[in-house]
């Protein structure tokens, strides 16, 4: 155990960075061993950490000096530069962005799923999967173990916090403008998201009908499930919805053998990463409003139908910034740095 570990959280003022601080606080990580960093825009900003107040400093080689672990909760372009800078400072680096997810030289690690990948590489940077992949992998794995899984079709209904503080602000402004009878402008999202749905989250890949977000699920699941020796094809549609926090996922899973819903439910209940909420007659099922700040992924509305008994349909929710990013950052980081904090 590394009791003197110093951690820098870069992007501490952002949606994910805020959740990282909450996660570290829950684990009683000492304030005096924590440094909060951002761009020059947030220099001097004060962040509450329990009873303490931490002042944000701009990230630089100087402010990274002496850090044992650097958690990057920054946009991908910033992470590319900052990961090298943090490595040069001798720190372990875990990155929440998409910068290294497709890089075969950087392990893609989902703590609790393929944590063993942390022990078998020579570099100092670890990439984390997206929030949607975090949820899909955790839901599919117990089904794969019980029945085998051939294919997963996903529709992800993504809250605007997936686009960070700017996404939150845009939905707030658009909702307020629309309720006042004004037509708002769209800056962060390609169309108005207030009282609307937009079937595009982030940019499209060059010369492709898939967005980077959607293509990411396929690639990240292929990387993660390779460690299990059985790779289901995962593909789907990302939809921006006018909620603030939490993603909803409609999943259609093609199992390798037919499974009664009761057996599928039992398999899902056996996973500590999941909470099964599935009593529809009592209006009990996953809701984004229920999953905020919950480290488990909620699963419910399990259904199959006799004409296609190998298909299982379900609905799930995940706290995108907390469970889908911050928890992974902290768990992978502490394990890498050899701390039990």
**Residues of this chain that bind ligand NAP (CB under 6 A):** 10-17, 38-39, 41-42, 59, 73-76, 78, 96-97, 130-131, 161-162, 164-166, 320-321, 324-325
Strands 7-10 and 34-38: parallel
CA angle 259, 260, 262 (to 5 degrees): 125
Question: What is the closest distance, in whole angstroms, from the C-beta atom of residue 199 to ligand NAP in the complex?
Answer: 19
In the bound state with ligand NAP, the residue whose beta carbon lies nearer, of 321 and 336, is: 321
In the bound state with ligand NAP, the residue whose beta carbon lies nearer, of 12 and 118, is: 12
Please state, in angstroms and rounded to a whole number, the distance separating the CA atoms of residues 212 and 272: 30
**Look-up: residue for tokens 């926090």?**
245
Question: What is the closest distance, in whole angstroms, from the C-beta atom of residue 243 to ligand NAP in the complex?
Answer: 12
Q: Which residue is nearest to ligand NAP (CB)?
A: 14
Please state, in angstroms and rounded to a whole number, the distance separating the CA atoms of residues 168 and 165: 5
**Burial class of residue 16 in the structure, from the number of CB atoms within 10 Å of its CB (0-12 exposed, 13-18 middle, 19+ buried):** buried
In the bound state with ligand NAP, the residue whose beta carbon lies nearer, of 12 and 312, is: 12
Question: What is the closest distance, in whole angstroms, from the C-beta atom of residue 188 to ligand NAP in the complex?
Answer: 10
Question: What is the closest distance, in whole angstroms, from the C-beta atom of residue 283 to ligand NAP in the complex?
Answer: 27
CA-to-CA separations, 91 to 7, 23, 35, 126, 201, in angstroms, rounded: 9, 20, 13, 12, 33
In the bound state with ligand NAP, the residue whose beta carbon lies nearer, of 59 and 291, is: 59
Question: What is the closest distance, in whole angstroms, from the C-beta atom of residue 277 to ligand NAP in the complex?
Answer: 21
In the bound state with ligand NAP, the residue whose beta carbon lies nearer, of 38 and 142, is: 38
**Burial class of residue 30 in the structure, from the number of CB atoms within 10 Å of its CB (0-12 exposed, 13-18 middle, 19+ buried):** middle
φ/ψ of 67, rounded to 5, equals -80, 135
Question: What is the closest distance, in whole angstroms, from the C-beta atom of residue 2 to ligand NAP in the complex?
Answer: 25
In the bound state with ligand NAP, the residue whose beta carbon lies nearer, of 11 and 149, is: 11
């Amino acid at each position: 155990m590394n009791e003197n570990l110093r951690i820098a959280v870069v992007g501490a003022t952002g949606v994910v960075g805020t959740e990282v601080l909450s996660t570290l606080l829950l684990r009683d990580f000492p304030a005096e061993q924590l440094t909060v960093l951002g761009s020059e825009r947030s220099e001097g900003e004060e962040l509450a950490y329990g009873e303490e107040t931490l002042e944000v400093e701009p990230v630089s080689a100087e402010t990274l000096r002496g850090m044992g672990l650097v958690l990057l909760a920054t946009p991908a372009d910033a992470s590319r530069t900052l990961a090298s800078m943090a490595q040069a400072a001798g720190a372990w680096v875990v990155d929440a962005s998409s910068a290294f997810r497709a890089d075969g030289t950087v392990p893609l690690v989902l703590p609790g799923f393929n944590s063993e990948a942390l022990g078998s590489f020579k570099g100092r940077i670890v990439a984390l999967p997206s929030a949607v992949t975090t949820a899909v992998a955790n839901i599919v794995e117990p089904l794969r173990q019980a029945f085998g899984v051939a294919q997963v079709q996903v529709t992800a209904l993504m809250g605007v916090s997936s686009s960070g503080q700017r996404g939150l602000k845009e939905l707030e402004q658009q909702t307020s403008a629309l309720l006042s009878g004004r037509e708002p402008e769209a800056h962060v999202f390609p169309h108005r998201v207030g009282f609307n749905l937009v079937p595009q989250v982030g940019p499209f890949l060059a010369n492709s009908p898939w967005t980077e977000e959607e293509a990411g699920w396929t690639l990240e699941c292929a990387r993660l499930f390779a460690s299990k020796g059985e790779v289901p094809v995962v593909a789907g549609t990302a939809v921006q919805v006018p909620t603030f926090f939490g993603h909803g996922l409609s999943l259609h899973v093609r199992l390798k053998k037919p499974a009664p819903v009761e057996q599928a439910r039992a398999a899902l209940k056996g996973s500590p990463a999941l909470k099964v909420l599935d009593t529809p007659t009592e209006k009990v099922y996953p809701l984004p409003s229920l999953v905020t700040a919950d480290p488990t992924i909620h699963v419910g509305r399990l259904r199959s139908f006799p004409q296609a008994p190998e298909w299982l349909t379900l609905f799930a929710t995940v706290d995108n910034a907390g469970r889908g990013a911050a928890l992974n950052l902290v768990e992978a980081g502490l394990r890498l740095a050899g701390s039990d904090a």
